Structures are given as C-alpha cells and as structure tokens.
Structure 1
Amino acid sequence: MAPLHEIAHLGHVELLTPHPQQSLWFFTHVLGLTENGRDGDSVYLRTWDDYEHHSLKLTAHHTSGIRRTALRACSEEALHRRVAALQQAGRGIGWIDGDPGIGPTYLFTDPDGHEFELYWESQWYQAPDELRPSLKNQPQAYPSTGFSVRRLDHVNFLAQQTLPNGDFLRETLGAEATEQIQLDDGTIAAQWLHFNNKSYDIVYTNDWTGSRGRLHHIAFATDTREDILRAADICLENDVFIETGPHKHAIQQTFFLYVYEPGGNRIELCNPLTRLVLAPDWRTITWTEAERAKGQAWGLKTIESFHTHGTPPVDQPH
C-alpha cells in the first residue's frame, strides 16, 4: 500500500514537571531553548530551527511525564479525514481551541492511553529583532546557549504492549514501521514509526513494569554529532545526570546521549539528521533478541534502567 502522507510531522509536546523552575533552567540554559510566552503554569519554549510558535510546552504538575503529543496534518482536508478515521476507531476525545499559534485541535488517545492532538492551522514564527537570523531561510538566530538543539526530533512512549499502538497509528494516521525488535517468543518489544521521509517520529517500547501510558523519553536533534560530545561536557559542568552515552545506536544508527532533566523526565540528545527513508516501499527492519543482546552499534550494553525508568514513576498517577 502506498504511504498515506497525511501527517506532516511531530509538532510539539507538553511535558509535565514537579520542579518547574529547575526544569525551565535546564531547557533554556542547558538545552538552549528560547522562551516564547507563558500561560498559567505553562511556559512555551522553542528550538531555533522550528518554524512554529513552540516546540515544547513545559507545565508545572504534581508529577513528571508527558501530557500530550501534537502532530500537524498536511492540510485542512487531511486533518478532517484523519479525524474521521480516529472517530471510527473509537479513540477520539473531541475538538478544543489550540494553544497559542495553533488552530482548531482534535484530541485522541492511543490504545495505551497516551494523549495526542492533531491540527492544521499554525502561525509561523516571526523572530523579534534580537533573535532575527542573518539567513532569511532560518526562523531564528542560532542561540549559542548550552546544547543549542536544532529541533524536537521524536517521542518514545513506554507501553504495556507495543504492537496494538503501532497498528493503531498505521490504521488511523498512516504511520509506517521502519524498524522493530522481535523477541524469541514472537513479541514485538519495540517499534519505530514514521509519517514521511524522516526515519522515525514516534517510538513504542514495552514497559517492563507492565504500566500503561508512560513516557520513555523525548528527543531533541543537535546540528552535528560533535554537539553531543560537547553536551556531555556541559552536563558534567552543570551536574546534569547522564544515564548513558555518548554512543551510537544500532537501530536507526542515531548518535545519542541520554540525560534526566530536573523533573525526572528522560531527554535524548540525538543526531539522526543525515538518515532519511526515501523508498516508498521500505521494508521494516526486524532485529532479533540475540542481535539486541549484542548492545549498541559499538558494543555498549543497554542498561537496565532503559527498560524500567519512565515518567510518571509507577507509584504515582498521571
């Protein structure tokens, strides 16, 4: 079946934190995001290469985790076709007014309970004079602050079961699986899904705690691989916990660094910028249990916390 291509890209995420001031410090001074407005307990933040109003909505909450993941449709007509498919699947919640810079928004959930929003109308960012770039094809001047991440890259969800969620995104939104892990008993333990030529936008990973609806990590892309090495040094100087890396994944070949922000959410710094899926008939790459036991591309073993640490913590509600 030909790719549907009615979802343009991952738009933004709303991340929850029990330590809002410390988390805001991390995302602005360490990651290098720019503040672009506030509303109640939420702060809107953006990466320098994002054309939209914000990349991240950071919201104070009693616990950590992800509240919502936003996807932009390719057109108003595509939006309404996808909404009809979601309603037919019985996963729709309904329409709301979008956040600043975003038009009418449709809410829905995946089978695991993660909440999504789908929209079309989007106000393109106009940089103020102090952030105006020298190159007119760049939304904002390079910040030269902290990691200076380029864009929000992907979201990795922990799920009670990967496959029902991957099937749901394929059937309702036209996602396709580029790579996956299959255990010896046939279980699909993780799946990397994309909507267009980016190699992955959404990932599902089996939660070893058996929980539902949790976050594994959100990922920001850096401009170069060397930026990730620099990020590790910046984390060292700022007492930011490094969970694993820098290293290179075997799956998707992404160069990575995983850290925890002060609210407890896992953040990946990644550099997958050169890897695109151009084949319209791409065949899903399946990795076996034995192949994954070898570790990452250069032999680094996958650490235990990668299968168990997620947000919110399992003893706290959303």
Structure 2
Amino acid sequence: MTPPLGDIAHIGHAQLFSPDLDASVAFFTDYVGLTVSGREGDTVYLRTFDDYEHHSLVLTARDRPGLGRLALRTSSEEGLHRRIKAVEAAGGSGKWVEDEPGIGRLYLTTDPDGHEHALYWESEYYRAPDELRPALKNQPQAKPNRGVGVRRLDHVNFLAADVLANAEFQERVLGARPTEQIQLNSGKIAARWLTFTDKSYDVVYTSDWTGSTGRLHHIAFATDTREEILRAADLAIDSGVFIETGPHKHAIQQTFFLYVYEPGGNRVELCNPLTRLVLAPDWPLITWTEAERAKGQAWGLKTIESFHTHGTPPVA
C-alpha cells in the first residue's frame, strides 16, 4: 500500500487548449476568479489565490479544445528520479524540458492513453505584487474580488479507451491510491478515482464511449463552501456561462458540483469536496455497480446524457 504522501506530492497545474484564447482567459479571470500571472506568445498562465506556485492553469491557443499536460510536483528530487525509473521500468519513455515560468525542469511522459504528464520538483514560491498582497502572511495572494474566487485546482478527469490500464499506470508507476470505482455487469472497470494525497481523489479515469484516446472529460476547481457553488450558478446565468448540470451532489466521492463549459469548449467543474478526506492508510477500494449508478446522483437526480458523451477534443 502506497503511503498517503508518496513521491508525488500533489497536482501542480493543468494545461487546456482553446480555439478562442481571449474568451477563455476572460472566462477564467472574470467568472472563475483566477489571476493572470504571465503571458508568452499564445500561452497565458493563471493562478488560484491559494496556490503557492506561479500558476495553476495554462491556457494555450490551439485549433481544437482539449487537455495539454497535467503537471505533478514530486515530494523531493529523489522522488522525481524514482518515478522516472518507474516509468522506464514499465516500458515507458520521456524527455526533459524547461519551458514554463517559475518551474524548473519537467520530465514529460504519457499514460497508456496518451495523456501527457509532466513530473517536476524545482518550483519557485509565488510572490504577490503589492496590489495582490494578502493581509494574512500565510496566504500567497489576496482573495479575488470578482467571480467565483476558487481556492485551488482540485482534480482532472481523463477520458480513456482503457480505464484499468491507465488507472494502473497511476498506481504502479506514479504511486497513486485508488479510492472508488465503477464496475459494469460485464466486469469492465468504467471509471476509477485515485489520490496522491489525503484528498479523496486527484485524478479520475472515465471510459470514453467513442473508444478514442487522449481526451478530456473535465478539470475541476475547489471552492471553500457549498454556498459558493450556488453563487457560481447565479453568476453563470447572469454572465451567460453555459451550465451543463448542477448544482447537485455526486454519490461517488460526495462532491457538491456545478458543471459549466468554458468558451473554448472544455468542461469545467466547480466543486466543494473540502469536507471529505481519506485519512486511513489502508482505505479499501469502494466499488459501485451498474444498478447502484442507475439510481442517479446522491439525491436521485439522473445524470444528464451529455455528461457521458461530451469530451474534448470533439470526435466526429
């Protein structure tokens, strides 16, 4: 059993591709409440107010939406090299790059589905400019006075052609712990939730109904309270943001959620999972059946059809 804190310390940041970069930046700053921390050509770096690093999200202009890299910070330089050895021992490969501000060298590799993962250790602590300096010295940045004002990047949900193979990559190669899963009547694993920390999940793999590889289901940002999810829904209808489903509560992981689409076409979840932690070092993997999932979400709401079919980049 991997200990609660292994060689991967936490999710660092995620990269999204957008065919409408300016509109996506406006969505994440004005509606979600992120702060722009840098720009380089067709790439914009943004941060949540409680992130200690330079950026939490990278937006890059592309013809089609989708996920670029997921960056994972290791708990030490030694841990980074242990994970690289594990990648290579499993038959994988990678390369070194140094192409992001505030971050040292990143080791790029992929999961079996082709999603790019960047592993790194070296990172600069964010220093807020005077206009963003917080009153409390143990907070990296003042809370935003606009939008939802999310606290952190919470998790990434990948779409995958083979959920089990990719989940086992996270477990055996990167050291994640599985916490919950969906198993179909056929025995196939349709989804699995995994964690690197004492959070109940950091990454998720969900079966891609198209059989495609390398696609994104959603990225998620955490709020302090459930009430902020309700406020996010009100802000969405006031500002023309498309709500796909919610506010509601998931049965799996018990996350209170709101799903919206950003202008580039990517699904974004605003969530409040902060009350639930997995502290047991021997936490048993919880399995949900088809019959149990057919009951819908926690309070009986049926899952909307697009939740199973929409992913980025889109397929014909």
TM range (shorter): over 0.9
SS in 1 for 2:119: strand
Gaps of 5+ in 1: none
Which one-letter code corresponds to 1:209 in the other structure?
T
Provide the residue aligned with 1:39 in structure 2: 40
Provide the residue aligned with 2:201 in structure 1: 200
Q: 1:238-277 counterparts in 2 under 5 A?
A: 238-277=239-278
Which one-letter code corresponds to 1:297 in the other structure?
A
CA contact (8 A) 1:191 1:204 kept: yes
Count of matched residue positions in the alignment of Structure 1 and Structure 2: 315
Q: 1:22-101 counterparts in 2 under 5 A?
A: 22-101=23-102
Which one-letter code corresponds to 1:165 in the other structure?
N
CA contact (8 A) 2:254 2:273 kept: yes
CA contact (8 A) 1:18 1:60 kept: yes
CA contact (8 A) 1:2 1:281 kept: no
* Corresponding position: 1:229 with 2:203: no
TM-score norm. by structure 1 comes to: 0.98
1:240 & 1:2 partners in 2: Cα distance?
A: 40
* Deviation for aligned residue 1:2: 4.2
2:2 & 2:34 partners in 1: Cα distance?
A: 37
Q: 1:288-299 counterparts in 2 under 5 A?
A: 288-299=289-300
Which one-letter code corresponds to 2:277 in the other structure?
L
Q: 1:74-153 counterparts in 2 under 5 A?
A: 74-153=75-154
* Deviation for aligned residue 1:87: 1.4
Provide the residue aligned with 1:302 in structure 2: 303
* Deviation for aligned residue 1:84: 0.8
SS in 2 for 1:199: coil
CA contact (8 A) 2:11 2:73 kept: yes
Gaps of 5+ in 2: none
Which region of structure 1 is more displaced relative to structure 2, 83-92 or 280-289? 83-92
TM-score norm. by structure 2 comes to: 0.98
Q: 1:158-173 counterparts in 2 under 5 A?
A: 158-173=159-174
2:300 & 2:151 partners in 1: Cα distance?
A: 28
2:250 & 2:145 partners in 1: Cα distance?
A: 27
Q: Deviations over 1:30-49 (max 9, x none)?
A: 00000001011000000000
* Corresponding position: 1:15 with 2:16: yes
2:195 & 2:93 partners in 1: Cα distance?
A: 21
CA contact (8 A) 2:86 2:173 kept: yes
